[in-house]
Amino acid sequence: MTCATSTIKFLAFLMNIFCCIAGALMLSASAYTLVQFNATDSIKIPCIMGVVLGGLLFGTTIVGCCGTIRESPRTILIYVIFLLLLLGAQIAVIFVLPIDFNKLAKETIQNAWNRQLSESSMDHYQIRYDCCGKNGPNDYIDSGLSIPTSCYLNRKPSIPNDLYTSGCVEMLTKAFVSAARIEVISDWTLVGVEGVTIIVACILGITFKNMERRRYY
């Protein structure tokens, strides 16, 4: 085996490891998001697709490793086809099923508000995001509820000026804007990693094919 072939094999293994890690992260992050946000409508389908595609990507890397170890051009070809299909599916999900973070924020706070009477579930969001109610403190007043201490800075209702005036939907939406940027970067980074992996796998497959032909001479 030439030095060039060994280098390509090493690079193929390295890209396989990156894809394997990326697939595991996609699967676990999508599953965690589904549980964390109680599978709300705005994230249900995108996250389910993330779990499926992440699992398939994780499994596909096994095919790539087997093809590299066996130096089988046919196995590498199957691997490339699988990766191309996954790459196309991921790009389709990015464009067709983007997460609506504004809708997610509204659904998350609405679910918390619906549980407020029995669980004080708004406290978590009001403390973390310095907000009060869905759209402001008047939500409590209009619903005949007392404003909780979590709506006040330093949790001191005795100081009226410490009352948060921003609603939690607004503040959570702003927080999700940063998450949306990170998601876009991670999505396209994964697409780039898979694209490079496909190119390396194609070169490796051609190399193995040429080696196979030389055996007959």
- Mind listing the pLDDT tens digit of every residue in the chain (217 residues)? 566 678 888 888 888 888 888 889 899 988 888 887 775 777 888 888 989 999 999 988 888 888 888 888 888 889 999 999 999 999 998 888 888 888 888 888 888 888 876 677 899 899 999 999 999 999 999 988 889 999 999 888 888 888 999 999 999 988 888 778 888 888 888 899 999 999 988 988 888 888 777 665 5
Contact by Cβ (8 Å): 34, 10: no
In the numeric block, the tokens 């699992």 are attached to: 55
Q: What does each C-alpha distance from 63 to 58, 129, 161, 200 come to in angstroms?
A: 10, 45, 62, 15
In the numeric block, the tokens 């403390």 are attached to: 127
Backbone CA torsion sign across 120, 125, 126, 128: positive
| 143-149: long-range pairs with CB below 8 Å, 24+ | 145/116, 145/117, 148/120, 148/122, 148/123
Q: What is the pLDDT of residue 82?
A: 92
In the Cβ-directed half-sphere of 174, how many Cα atoms lie within 13 Å? 10
| Residue from 196, 178, 177 nearest 188 by CA | 196
Q: What is the pLDDT of residue 136?
A: 93
Q: Any idea how long the chain is?
A: 217
Phi, psi (degrees; rounded to nearest 5) at 137: -60, -25
Backbone CA torsion sign across 65, 48, 90, 103: negative
Q: What is the pLDDT of residue 215?
A: 64
